[in-house]
Structure 1
C-alpha cells in the first residue's frame, strides 16, 4: 500500500511514475495481505484519487488526506516506515486509527510534511512515545494519540508545538505532574488528558494561561487537593470542563466579585469531586450537560433546585445523599431534558406524574420511591431508550395493554413489589435488548403473555410467581444470551427446540 501511494506521489503523475505504477501490484498485494482487508481492492486502478481512503484536492492533482481506520486485524504490532509518506508534500491530514501501529520507522520523515495539519493515531499499540515527539511542527493543528499505551511523563518536546490547537492524549498510561511548558501552549482550544495517571497538585496556574481553551478534559487521573472553580473564571471561551474522578475537592461557589464566571459552558462534569452544594450559576451558565454524580450533595431536591428553570439536556446527580420528594412539575423546571439520572440517593414518595416527553434515559433506581409507575412513563415517552426504576418500593401493574414505548432498549424494574402478569404491551417494544424484572410479585403463565422480541439479549424473570410451561416462543429469540427463570413456579418439560438455539451454547 505505502509503496503504491509512493508511486502515485502527490503531484501530477509523470511517465516515470506511471511506469512504476504498472509494476506496483505485487507490493500492493503484499500490503493488502498484511492488512487482511478488502478495503484496497480498487487500488489497481490508475487514478489514485479514486482509491479507498485517499482524498485529493478539487483538481485531482494532489493528495491531501489519507484515512485508513481499523483496517489491520492482525494482533502483532505494525511498524510502518514514515518515509513512505514523505512524497506527499501537500498532505494535510493523515489518519490511521485502530491499525495496531506500534510505532514508526524513521519517524523524523514526518517533518517533510510541511502542510500536515492533522495526525490521528488513536486506538493503536504505541507504547514508547520517545520516537513520536519529533519537536517543533509549525503546521500541526490536531494531534490525537488517544487509546494507545503511551508511558512516562508529559513530553517536553510536545510543548515546542506552540501553534497546536487540539491535543488528545487520553486513555494512555502517562504519569507524573503536568509539564510546566504546557502553560505556553496558548493556542490550545482542546486539551484531553483523561484516563491517564497524572498526579500531584492540580495544574491550576498552567490551565489559567490557556486563554483560548474551549474544551478541557482532565478526568480519571490522580490529581489531588482542593481547588476552586475560580481557577477557570477568566477562560471566557471555555465551553466544556471535565475534571471528574480525580482525588479533588472542588469548591463550586463562583459569585464573589473576584470570581464571576466569564464563560458559558455547554458541559460541566464534576463527578467524584466531593462537591457539597449546587449553586444557581450552574443553571445560568451551563446550557446543556451537568454531571455531578458520586459527590456529597445533601438535602431535599426542592431546596437544591428551587425556582430553577433550566434548558439542560443532561442532568446526572446520581449517587449522592439527596432526599425528599420530587416536585410534580419537574417537567416544567427541566423541559428539555433527554437524560435524567437521580439513582443512588434517598428520594421518596410517589413518582411525579409527568416527566419531559423528550427523555431518552430515565434512571430513578436505588431510591425509596413508592406507589405506582405513572401512566405518562408507561405511555407518553416515545423517545425513551433506558428506563431504570429498580431497587425501590413500587407497586401495581407494570404496563397496561395500551402502553407504547416503541424505542425502549433497556428495562430495569427489578427489586420492587410490582404485580400482575408479564406485560404483553412490550410486544410493541421491538428494540428491547435487556429486560430485568426479577424479585417482584409478578404471576401468570408466561406462555400466554411473553412476546417474541427478536433483539433481546438478556431476560431475567427470577424471583417471581410465574407458572406453567416454558414457552416455545423463547426459541425464536435468536439473540438471547442470558435467560434466568429461577425461583418461579414453572413446570413441565423444557422445549426440545432449546437444543437448537446456537446463541445459548457455550
Structure 2
C-alpha cells in the first residue's frame, strides 16, 4: 500500500524528467508518461531506444514546456505534438523524419528554441510559421535536405540561426539585420549567392559567430564598423569574395578564429591583425595575397597564434623569421590536460530549465586521396604552420627551431635554398615535416634523428646529397620521402652509396626537374562547420586534400578519430 501511494505521489508531483545520454535501449511505450499530470519538461534524447506509437486511450500527455526526443528513431512527427501548444523548447534532432515541416507547427506560438537538425526535411511550411513565433530565440535546421530560398526570420528576439548543410538558394536578405540580438549566423554549405549584406556590420556588437563558408557569395567582405565588435569566429571560406581584407577586422578584439581561404582576396599580409591578442587560428590559403611578409615592429604581435595557413598565394621574399619569435603560443609546451579549442554559449530556454550551456568545439579533418580523417575536437596545444606553394626565397631561419610546440610544418613548393638547418631539432613535438619541392642542398642533418615524434617526412624534389639516415623513426619512411634528389643514396632508394666508406655521389645541378609529386600537405583545405545543438555545437576546421599519412599514423592516433554523426 505504501509503495502504491509513493508511485501515485510521484505521478502527481513530478515536473521534470530527464533520461538523456544514458544508453537506454529497447522499445519505450510513450503512454507511460500520461499519468504524470504535472510534468512540464521531458527529455529523453540521445539514448538507444525506439518510441512506440501512442496508446489508443482517452488520456493525453500533460501540456509540456520542454520536450527532447533527439535520436529516438522517429520516422515522422509524433501526432501528440499537435496538442502541445505550450511548448517553448522542442528537440527532434537526429531522427529519420522526412518531408515538409507541417503547417500545424503554427500552434507553437511560445516556442523559444526549435532543433530539427540531422533529419531529411525538404521544405519549410507554407506559409512560413517562424515569423509568427514572437519569442523565438534559436532555430536549428542543420543537415537536412531543405531547398528553395533561404528563409530569414527577422525577429529582434532571434539569437541563433543554424541552416548549414542544406540545399538552400537565393540571397541573404538585409532583413536579417532586424535580428538585432543575433549571436550566431550559420547558413554555411548551401547554394547561396549574391553579396553579404553590409548591414551585418551593424550587428557586430552582438554577433559572435559568422559562418558562411562553401556558398557562392561575391563582392567584398563587409566592414565591421563597431568599435565593440564581439565576433570570435568568422568563416567566409570557399566563396568568390574579392577585394582587400577589411581593415576594420582590427576592431574585433575577441576574434579567435578567422578563415577566409579559397576566395579571390587581393591584398598583402595583414600585419595590422597582429594586435588581435586572442587570434589563435588564421587561414588565408588559396587567395591572391602577394608581396613580402614584412617583419613586425615589435615582438608582441600575434601572441596566441597557433594554427596559420598562408599556402597557395604569391607571397615572396624571405620567410618571416621575426614572426617565428613572436608566435609565443607555438613555443609553449602544455599537454597536462585534455582541453579543446572552441567556444561555449548560454541559451535561455524556460523558467524551469534556466540556462543551457552549449559547447562549440573546433574540429579538423585531414583528407588523404579523397578519404577524410576527421578530428571531432582539436586539442588546445595543437600547433600548425603551412606556408607552402608560395614564392618564398632564402634559407630556413634558425628561429623556427624555437617553436617547440609545433606539430605540423609545411614549407613545400617554394624557392628555398641552403642546407636544412640542424636547429629544426628544437621542434621536439613535430609529427609532420614537408620541405619538398625547393632547392635545398647538402645532407640530411643528423640532428633530425632527435625528432622522435616525427611520423611524416618529405624532402623530395630538392638537391640533397649523401646517405639517407636509417635510424629510429627514419627507418619508417619510404622512398617517396626522398625521390627527386639525384645525390641521395642508400635505403629506401634503389641507389646504393658508392665506395667502401659510402661516399655519396655528387649532388645534381641547380634546375633539375621538380615535376610530378603529390606532396604531404599539397592542397590543404580548411573549413568551419557548426553541427547542431543536439550534441553540443561542434565547429569544424577542415585541413585537407592531400596529407599523405597512413592509417596508423601517430598524428592520427594522438589527435584524430573517425567522424561521428553526433558528439558523444
Instruction: Give the TM-score, by structure 2 length.
Output: 0.57
**Residue 211 to residue 113, structure 1, CA distance change in 2 (3 Å):** same
1:143 aligned onto 2:128: no
Report the CA distance between 1:472 and its aligned residue: 3.8
The partner residue of 1:192 within 162, 176, 201 is 162
Given that 1:186 and 1:211 are in contact with CA atoms closer than 8 Å, whether structure 2 keeps it comes out as yes
The partner residue of 1:376 within 322, 330, 342 is 322
Matched residue count: 409
**Residue 171 to residue 364, structure 1, CA distance change in 2 (3 Å):** same
**Residue 132 to residue 105, structure 1, CA distance change in 2 (3 Å):** farther
The match for 1:171 is 143
Over the residues paired in the alignment, what is the CA RMSD in angstroms? 4.9
Secondary structure of the corresponding residue to residue 151 of structure 1 = strand
CA shift digits 1:269-305 (9 cap, x unpaired) = 5553645456565544x4444xxxxxxxxxxxxxxxx
The match for 1:219 is 188
Given that 1:63 and 1:90 are in contact with CA atoms closer than 8 Å, whether structure 2 keeps it comes out as yes
Given that 2:250 and 2:275 are in contact with CA atoms closer than 8 Å, whether structure 1 keeps it comes out as no
Return the alpha-carbon distance in structure 2 between the equivalents of residues 457 and 156 of structure 1.
Answer: 56
Return the alpha-carbon distance in structure 1 between the equivalents of residues 203 and 321 of structure 2.
Answer: 47
**Residue 124 to residue 444, structure 1, CA distance change in 2 (3 Å):** farther
Given that 2:425 and 2:447 are in contact with CA atoms closer than 8 Å, whether structure 1 keeps it comes out as no
Q: Which has the higher helix share?
A: 1
Given that 1:80 and 1:104 are in contact with CA atoms closer than 8 Å, whether structure 2 keeps it comes out as no
Q: Which moved more, 1:447-456 or 1:161-170?
A: 447-456
Return the alpha-carbon distance in structure 1 between the equivalents of residues 178 and 551 of structure 2.
Answer: 59
**Residue 358 to residue 109, structure 1, CA distance change in 2 (3 Å):** same
Correspondence list, 1:74-473, <5 A: 80-81=51-52, 83=54, 92=66, 94=68, 96=70, 99=71, 103-104=74-75, 107-110=78-81, 117-123=88-94, 125-130=96-101, 134-138=105-109, 140-153=111-124, 156=127, 158-159=129-130, 161-178=133-150, 182-183=153-154, 186-205=156-175, 207-225=176-194, 228-230=197-199, 233=202, 237-243=206-212, 245-250=214-219, 264-266=229-231, 270-271=236-237, 272=239, 274-276=241-243, 282-284=249-251, 286-289=252-255, 314=258, 316=260, 319-323=263-267, 330=272, 333-343=275-285, 344-349=287-292, 351-353=294-296, 355-384=301-330, 385-398=383-396, 400=398, 403-423=401-421, 425-446=423-444, 448-451=446-449, 456-464=454-462, 465-469=464-468, 471-473=470-472
**Residue 243 to residue 418, structure 1, CA distance change in 2 (3 Å):** closer
Secondary structure of the corresponding residue to residue 394 of structure 1 = strand
Return the alpha-carbon distance in structure 1 between the equivalents of residues 478 and 145 of structure 2.
Answer: 34
Instruction: Give the TM-score, by structure 1 length.
Output: 0.62
Gaps in structure 1 of 5+ consecutive residues:
1-10, 18-28, 35-60, 73-77, 290-311, 496-500
| Bigger relative contact order, structure 1 or 2 (CA pairs below 8 A, ≥6 apart) | 2
Secondary structure of the corresponding residue to residue 170 of structure 2 = strand
Given that 1:133 and 1:157 are in contact with CA atoms closer than 8 Å, whether structure 2 keeps it comes out as no
**Residue 378 to residue 401, structure 1, CA distance change in 2 (3 Å):** closer
Return the alpha-carbon distance in structure 2 between the equivalents of residues 147 and 481 of structure 1.
Answer: 42
CA shift digits 1:77-130 (9 cap, x unpaired) = x8633759x97977846263xx5x653467133467777654444455544355
Given that 1:421 and 1:449 are in contact with CA atoms closer than 8 Å, whether structure 2 keeps it comes out as no
Q: Which moved more, 1:330-339 or 1:361-370?
A: 330-339
Report the CA distance between 1:437 and its aligned residue: 1.4
Return the alpha-carbon distance in structure 2 between the equivalents of residues 373 and 492 of structure 1.
Answer: 32
**Residue 468 to residue 80, structure 1, CA distance change in 2 (3 Å):** farther
1:492 aligned onto 2:490: yes
**Residue 317 to residue 493, structure 1, CA distance change in 2 (3 Å):** closer
